[in-house]
Amino acid sequence: MLPLRHISIRVPWHDNGWDGTVCANPAGNMSCLVLKGIGPKRDDTQEMANRGKLLEVLAEDQRPCCMNERGFFMAPFEICRTKNHPYTETSTETHGHFRPTLFRQPRYSADAIPFRWMQRPERWVNPRTPNAPDFRDCYNLDLDEAREPTLKFNTTWVQQRDNHLALLDTFFGHVKPQDSLCFFYAKRTPLAEDSRRVIVGVGRVNHVGGNHEYKYACPESAAPLRALLWERIIQHSIRPDGNDGFNDGFLLPIGRRSPMPNKTRISTRPRWSCSPPTTAGRNSLTSASMSRMTVPSARCFLAPPRCAKRLRFLPARGTATRNG
């Protein structure tokens, strides 16, 4: 039995509250450009033509690039996307049999990828350090370098299905539905030039999805290499209550359509609320969680339960602070 952990998930800034629409003003959203999956790829002309439209009515080639960065985790409808293995065209000898794979994402969910966990151990990468320790050693994982394919280029990523299973099942095995919390955070917002991450929403984990395997041009039993998608679905509890508030979780008011509301509360009912980061630093919810969110390439991260146990859950007029 793996110990309970909470999970943080990175999302891009969105001026419609991540509600399953294209931003109201995509060209004016400069904060999301900091993400590598958006900055070099965003088509402002196309997105301005589709601004405010529901993602479910757009063809895949018309959807904004924030689709792959969890820019719709509050969408009240299911979204399906096509996933392609990044090595299909560049490494045809080992990955040429991989085919486009349909990835279904339920309403009110986000796909989480533990990038740090999917890296090859240092002792696999550097033959001069065969005994180099690895942060995953304590789990006694069933990892085997012999399963990995021989590629024509160097890579730091684990490639093979059974190794993927060991890594993904262990990481997401810490996340317990109804007990774990999910913290949604943005790398940059339009409200501050502070380099620290900002928590934009918190809810409970309702469900952790299973593994998804790629489709192949041949039967699975005949595939020379099999692999899993790294994404796992996290369904959360945050729900709009129809009164400009939320049930069983919250989004910060700065993430709603009005970026600077006059009222500091989220709704008239008791809610979870937290302050944006301040110079007070370590006593805020955001900065208290940042030590678990600082790996540059990570899109999701685990945090021990003490991070949440030390929070006071106050009525919406208050803030979430650390005890003591």
Domain-located, residue 284 = no
What pLDDT sits at residue 146? 95
Domain that holds residue 175: 6-266+296-303
| Residue range 75-122, pLDDT digits in tens | 999 999 999 999 999 999 999 999 999 999 999 999 999 999 999 998
Enumerate residues 6+ apart whose C-beta is below 8 A from 153: 91
Residue spans of alpha helices (H) in the chain? 44-49, 92-95, 122-125, 161-173, 285-289, 306-309
Q: Is residue 313 part of a domain?
A: no
pLDDT in tens, 297-322: 346 667 766 655 544 333 332 333 33
Does some domain include residue 232? yes
Domain membership of residue 55 (yes or no) is yes
Say if CB 251 and CB 73 are below 8 A apart: no
- Buried-state track 212-232, b at ≥16 Cβ within 10 A, e below 16: bebebeeeeeebebbbbbbbb
Residue 64 domain-assigned (yes or no): yes
Decide if 49 is inside a domain. Answer: yes
In the chain, the number of structural domains is 1
pLDDT in tens, 273-302: 333 333 333 322 232 333 333 233 346 667
Residue 62 lies in a domain: yes
Q: Considering the domain boundaries, does residue 309 fall inside one?
A: no
- Read off the pTM: 0.80
